[in-house]
Structure 1
Amino acid sequence: MSVSIRNFFLLWLLVQPSTSHASGKKTTVIVTNKLQGGRDLLVHCESADDDLGVQHLHPNASFSWSFRINFFISTLFHCSFQWESVLHKFVIYNARKDADKCVLCSWIVKEDGPCLVSPGTKDDCYSWDSLEER
């Protein structure tokens, strides 16, 4: 019996560091419409577990949501962005890449792509053509 308890404890120690973020802090994502010319932006974000619905953002308006990363650190939110006849998709949050660096993820959406905004640092902008590489 003590061997199985020992094995369980060793397994728990191995898994614990990689799941510490999943069991704790909430992550918040903010998306802000920064399209030029006063255009409205339709945003539809979803994960495998949550569909956040279509959000209608007027110029400079924001939409935000909070969540906890799942146990397997595989939480992934993707969004579609539409204005006039333009439609783009983007992975706005990927726990495997963002969990350690992004507890508050603030994005601005511009015509040429979204930018991750961090206070005190240069914006990290992506072109729509390279979105799946992020």
Structure 2
Amino acid sequence: MGKVVEFSLGFLMSQHPLTSRGLASLPTRGIPRRIVRHLLISWLGSATVLPSGHSFTIHCKSKDDDLGAHTIWPNDVYTFEFHNNVWGTTLFYCSVTTSYGQGVYDFYRYDRDNKRCDVCVYTVTKDGVNALSTKPGRNDFIFNWK
């Protein structure tokens, strides 16, 4: 049975209230809990750093699905969900374009992310895209603009 993975892509000027602790506390009503993956993408910065009209474009694909291009504005949220395939090779890659730079990166790769995070958090910065660790003050990895 595959896992349900939900991606939430948001352009937020403040810290998002969703945490892995909050997800773990959701009631399962006697049904075995299937792990739901969440991916959150937001700008890292404050209103003084990023103008209110600032946006980024993200276009995510897998081998079988093209989710189309989406422009993310302040406080917008973009979500999608999918099941991991039975072979453990699920991959979603996304093209991100900002006024600071652009690049195409693996945002969900089964071998890297299946056990790495229940809530996968990415922040878009002037320098690239950071994958944040669940441990405060630490990045798991950084995708620099190409």
TM tier, shorter chain?
Answer: 0.5 to 0.7
What is residue 11 of structure 1 aligned with on the other side?
none
What is residue 96 of structure 2 aligned with on the other side?
81
Unaligned runs of 5+ in 1: 1-19
For residue 38 of structure 2, the aligned residue among 28, 45, 48 is 28
Count residues with an aligned counterpart. Answer: 111
Distance in 2 (alpha carbons) for counterparts of 1:25 and 1:127: 26
Pairwise CA RMSD: 2.7
* 1:20-99 matched pairs, under 5 angstroms: 22=3, 24-34=34-44, 36-38=49-51, 39-59=54-74, 61-84=76-99, 86-99=101-114
SS at match of 1:101: coil
1:37 alignment partner AA: L
Judging changes above 3 Å, is the alpha-carbon distance between structure 1 residues 33 and 65 closer, same or farther for their aligned structure 2 residues?
A: farther
TM-score (norm 1): 0.66
- Indicate the percent of aligned positions where both proteins have the same amino acid: 23
Distance in 1 (alpha carbons) for counterparts of 2:56 and 2:102: 10
Higher helix share: 1
Contact residue 40 and residue 57 of structure 1 kept, 8 A: yes
What is residue 10 of structure 1 aligned with on the other side?
none
SS at match of 2:112: helix
Judging changes above 3 Å, is the alpha-carbon distance between structure 1 residues 124 and 64 closer, same or farther for their aligned structure 2 residues?
A: farther
Unaligned runs of 5+ in 2: 5-33
- Which is further off, 65-74 or 23-32? 23-32
Judging changes above 3 Å, is the alpha-carbon distance between structure 1 residues 127 and 97 closer, same or farther for their aligned structure 2 residues?
A: closer
